Amino acid sequence: MAETSATTGTGEPASRPRKSSWKYIGPGIVVAATGVGAGDLVATLIAGSKFGYTLMWAAVIGCVVKISLAEAAGRWHLATGRTLFDGWRSLGPWTTVYFAIYVVIWGFIYGATAMSSSALPIVALFPDGPGLKFWAIVTGLIGLAFVWFNRYAVFEKVMTVLIGIMFVVVVYVAARVVPDVGASFAGLVPVLPDGSLLYTLGLIGGVGGTITMAAYGYWVNAKGWSNSSWMKVMRLDNRVAYITTGIFVVAMLIVGAELLHASQVALTSGDRGLIDLGKVLEDRFGAGTAKLFLVGFFVTSFSSLIGVWHGVSLMFADFVERFRPPAAGAAEAEEHAGPAVADRQQRSLPFRAYLLWLTFPPMTLLWLDEPFGLVIAYGVLGAFFMPFLAVTLIWLLNSSRTPGEWRNGWLSNGMLALSGLLFVVLCVQQVRELPW
């Protein structure tokens, strides 16, 4: 691409393309820290405990799939100067209806899940202290206050520290269990043992595959990247994010394979499985390693909590803003996406209203079993979100809505189609497993 040919979504010449540099990296770190939650780590551990290193190849393919999806979301924001929801809305009213239902129900259930997940390791670290409900409420309130009073720049720095802790802890634990290097390389050869299909699809599509992938473009804008001159930077940032995620997945597979597979230790499903692992680590390596792991467990959960509190609230603020009349402001009428818009949205009533929705109503679920109807609605909507994202990105990035030079090529179309197909299979399975 000639440096003078880049254009913004409005057709104005963009500034000269920035050279990709490590000093710019930021939104990808936020995605990596947010996208990998405690439940993802348990799923990976269970896959390792059941099949050893055999599914290592699935973790690698999963990274490539996530890179393709997040790159497409970021490319839409930078190439068009429009937000992802703005693009969805151009596809018809059905996207608005779907997102409106999804974001309300998903936020209600996820809020309780995130708070409980963050509280579990604290209770394990301080067994004689307050109980789970107390710590769940405290973590939710801390997340609310942090996101409410800080802009993106501070948020990114804190997330960078948290992912650094996650990285050190997970890699340290994987090193302590002494991985079988030969078996891990052998696991890069695609093999499907009996009964492994759904675990394989889960590794490819599940870890790091959440609504935060759609939020990536919003964090890109909040960082100050607002036109196609930042495309190379965004792509480097995105690759770093999912390579980091891939290292987490591989490390947890190693722990599952070495620590659990050989000794046939079964983990509890859900986030409590990490408490089981903490006990195994204490028996094998001592209390110090177990406590360090519980700290990593807390950081993994809490980084997902504040990442969702920030990123999905930004998406909701943009969703509400699309219904404002065009004459609401001269600058806003022309500027669809960019750091100024992101900064304003972080101070907006819809942003803060959704923050409150993520925090306070879900606290009621800490005392009550999740209502049956909500469980089903959450499961169905959540399962359909990733196919929805993949299909709509293919639609948007192959249409005249995207400037010609930034439309999908055959590789991007192929990867998005592959991810869409994988997520459809996972979607069907998740719906089948719901407590109908």
- Hey, what are 124's tokens? 């394990």
Average pLDDT, rounded, for the chain:
83
What number is the average pLDDT over the span 114-130?
Answer: 89
Quick check: 357 and 88 in contact, CB under 8 A? no
Of 183-187, 201-205, 351-355, highest mean pLDDT: 351-355
Residue 332 has pLDDT above 50, yes or no: no
Cβ neighbourhood burial of 276 (10 Å; 0-12, 13-18, 19+)? middle
The pLDDT score that the predictor gives to residue 375 is 59
Which residue matches tokens 């997970």?
A: 170
pLDDT tens digits, 124-163: 899 888 988 999 999 999 999 999 999 999 999 999 999 9
Which residue matches tokens 């996207």?
A: 95
Q: Which helix (H) or strand (E) holds 74?
A: helix 56-80
With residues binned 3-state (H G I as helix, E B as strand, rest as coil), the percentages for the chain, rounded to 5, are: 75, 0, 25
The pLDDT score that the predictor gives to residue 207 is 55
What one-character DSSP code corresponds to residue 150? -
The pLDDT score that the predictor gives to residue 400 is 94
The pLDDT score that the predictor gives to residue 417 is 92
What percent of the chain shows pLDDT beyond 70?
Answer: 84
Quick check: 44 and 259 in contact, CB under 8 A? no
Residues 281, 203, 358, CA angle at the centre, nearest 5°?
80
**Alpha carbon separation from 324 to 220, 222, 389, 401 (Å, rounded):** 23, 21, 24, 21
User: Model-level pTM?
Assistant: 0.88
Quick check: 115 and 137 in contact, CB under 8 A? yes
Residues in the chain: 436
The pLDDT score that the predictor gives to residue 161 is 94
pLDDT tens digits, 187-243: 888 888 887 777 787 777 655 557 888 999 999 999 999 899 999 999 999 988 888
Exposure of 136 in the CB half-sphere (CA atoms within 13 A): 21
What number is the average pLDDT over the span 82-98?
Answer: 93
What's the CA gap between 281 and 263, in Å, rounded?
13
